[in-house]
Structure 1
Amino acid sequence: MSRSLLLRRVSGLFRLSGKTSPLRGARFSSSLEPEPLTVTEQNHGVRRITLNNPKKRNALSLAMLESLKENILTDIDSPELRVIIISARGPVFSSGHDLKELTSSRGADHHRKVFQTCSEVMTLLQDVPVPVIAMVNGVATAAGCQLVASCDIAVATEKSTFATPGVNVGLFCSTPAVAIGRAVPRKVAMEMLFTGTPISAHDALLHGLVSRVVSEERLEEEAASIARRVCAASRPVVALGKATFHRQMSQGRDAAYALASRVMVDNLRLRDGQEGIRAFVEKREPVWSHQAEPEPL
């Protein structure tokens, strides 16, 4: 049977079954197409990004980082997007950088690109206007632990562990230390960095690396529940609040209060700022516009 006849017959079978043929535009080859490094879906305001390379322990290779960056930035200003959840396939959330990309044969220029891209992704998580939730079910080490620390909220299962073991392979986790050192007490961060010893999910909760710890069976619902509560709020109000929180955290007390006071006034000028107050006074549910424009005078 000729190849063209085979294609027509198989395509016809899919049409008869009422399914769209997967063969349109496909090519026959001896090997399957590689799976994407990240998978995204978006429903009801929630974008789920899944690290999708479990065979390589979801290592944050340059390609993985670039894919993750694209997934985060796509339609980031759309009012339809309200929260991002980052999770992973397999027993390892992420093992950190792909060490095969960090050998001397790749050269310093490639090394610089890897760490620059990683830093861009980590700062992006805090700079985007919607909250980002890490949903962790397994091991998060080195830059994988950095990814968790960089998210606004982190929900982990009881079996999850966190570590910065770079010192044990001769590469101190200096860039993960930026995020982790801002998430946990200094002496906890230093012990993690100097020894590479993993900490449990409950210790991670105790020290502020994660927001809550749940059973594996409850992980999906817990993350979804947080996402639903975020989606119930006004997008521009949440965006303003998130940006201000991260900015004031790097300031001294007096400067932080001055900034926050100005932002409270700006918040009151938003359409949704006034709608929320009117709704409270009128004892009704607010009807958010999700528009960033100020209330007309």
Structure 2
Amino acid sequence: MPAEVAIQPTDSFDPSSFDAVKWQLREHTAYITMSRPEARNALNIAMRNELMACFNEVQNNREIWLAVLCGEDPIFCAGADLKEKLNLARSDGDKERSRLSNELYLTMRRCYKPIIAAINGGCIAQGAGLALLSDIRLMSEKGFFWWPQVMRGISSMSGPLLLTEAVSPSFALRYLLTADKITPEDALRVDLCTEVVPHENLMDTVDKWATKMLKNAPLSLQAIKEVAVRRRGMTIDEAFPIGREISERTMDSDDSIEGLKAFKEKRSPAWQGK
């Protein structure tokens, strides 16, 4: 397991005040754990705000190169807190809750540091949306994706917007319109997850993937993800200038010089993230 390292938070970030999310740093990696076990890690207003703060910190802190999103066992995330939703129904508080849902999705989308989702159990509705906004999805054999909204008389954002982007629309709608669960085997078959492992091996597998990625230049990882995200919806003619601008920015970095020197000198590079 990667060792804990002393990374200074940015001035506005204080995870010690969090109620619904746990934050830990190990070797340039932020481990972000949704922690409301009494509510099956359901997303309430507090958790949305805290997750946004975490992913903003990941994006803005130069010493953080990678993030891992997980849920406190035995579930990844049960989706929106429906009790909170019912209490706030048709009120300004419900509008605020919806606004925060959109902001959280966009905050994760605009985080260009790689994100690993450790799917330890049920990954439901908005919880599944958070997993889909991750780059590497590692799944316990106990995990599943599920969009049950049609059973509750409500609609979905993450299903029709994100699931249909990740897999074929016909596959997505087959599950969204029936509220069937997507098993680990089916998720792996359509590349909805990267790997399925025994439950007890999940976090070791996460650490293995994190270690593998941390061997690479952090600015290069960010640049590649940024191009991949920003070019969505663009023609190739529109995307090439953005790709070139980001590539040249990376080539001007100290790490780029270090990588070329290490190649010439036949040694492992020492990345600095600058």
Q: How far apart, in 1, do the equivalents of 2:267 and 2:101 lie?
A: 45
Q: How far apart, in 2, do the equivalents of 1:105 and 1:277 lie?
A: 56
1:217 aligns with 2:200: yes
1:230 aligns with 2:213: yes
Give TM-score, length-normalised by structure 2: 0.86
State the partner residue of 2:39.
56
Q: 1:248 aligns with which of 209, 224, 231?
A: 231
Following superposition, the deviation at residue 163 of structure 1 comes to: 1.0
Q: How far apart, in 2, do the equivalents of 1:165 and 1:269 lie?
A: 48
Q: How far apart, in 2, do the equivalents of 1:105 and 1:72 lie?
A: 26
Q: Residue 197 and residue 75 in structure 1: after superposition, are their counterparts in 2 closer, same or farther (change >3 A)?
A: closer
Following superposition, the deviation at residue 110 of structure 1 comes to: 2.2
Q: How far apart, in 2, do the equivalents of 1:140 and 1:286 lie?
A: 37
1:290 aligns with 2:273: yes
8 Å contact 2:58–2:67 — kept in the other structure? no
- AA matched with 1:53: R
Q: Please, which runs of 5 or more residues in structure 2 have no aligned partner?
A: 1-17
Q: 2:20 aligns with which of 10, 32, 37?
A: 37
Q: Please, which runs of 5 or more residues in structure 1 have no aligned partner?
A: 1-34, 292-297
Q: For residues 172-221 of structure 1, what are the alpha-carbon distances to aligned partners after superposition, in whole Å with 9 as ceiling and x for unaligned?
A: 21344322221111111111211111010121122222121111122111
1:73 aligns with 2:56: yes
- AA matched with 2:90: G
8 Å contact 2:20–2:36 — kept in the other structure? yes
8 Å contact 2:71–2:119 — kept in the other structure? yes
- AA matched with 1:230: M
8 Å contact 1:123–1:150 — kept in the other structure? no
1:182 aligns with 2:165: yes
Q: How far apart, in 2, do the equivalents of 1:153 and 1:105 lie?
A: 34
Q: How far apart, in 1, do the equivalents of 2:211 and 2:58 lie?
A: 20
8 Å contact 1:82–1:230 — kept in the other structure? no
| RMSD after superposition | 2.0
State the partner residue of 1:102.
85
Give TM-score, length-normalised by structure 1: 0.80
Q: How far apart, in 2, do the equivalents of 1:165 and 1:150 lie?
A: 19
Q: How far apart, in 2, do the equivalents of 1:113 and 1:178 lie?
A: 20
Q: Residue 191 and residue 85 in structure 1: after superposition, are their counterparts in 2 closer, same or farther (change >3 A)?
A: same
State the partner residue of 1:18.
none
Following superposition, the deviation at residue 129 of structure 1 comes to: 3.4
State the partner residue of 1:135.
118
State the partner residue of 2:12.
none
1:273 aligns with 2:264: no
Q: Work out which of the two has the higher radius of gyration on C-alpha atoms and give 1 or 2.
A: 1
SS in 1 for 2:192: coil
Q: Residue 112 and residue 90 in structure 1: after superposition, are their counterparts in 2 closer, same or farther (change >3 A)?
A: same
State the partner residue of 1:89.
72
Following superposition, the deviation at residue 75 of structure 1 comes to: 6.3
8 Å contact 1:52–1:89 — kept in the other structure? yes
Q: Residue 75 and residue 86 in structure 1: after superposition, are their counterparts in 2 closer, same or farther (change >3 A)?
A: closer
Q: How far apart, in 2, do the equivalents of 1:263 and 1:138 lie?
A: 37
8 Å contact 1:92–1:140 — kept in the other structure? yes
Q: Which has the higher contact order (CA 8 A, sep 6+)?
A: 2
Structure 1 window deviating more from structure 2 (152-161 vs 108-117): it is: 108-117
Following superposition, the deviation at residue 76 of structure 1 comes to: 4.1
- Total equivalences in the alignment: 257
Q: How far apart, in 2, do the equivalents of 1:105 and 1:280 lie?
A: 58
Q: Residue 288 and residue 175 in structure 1: after superposition, are their counterparts in 2 closer, same or farther (change >3 A)?
A: closer
SS in 1 for 2:234: coil
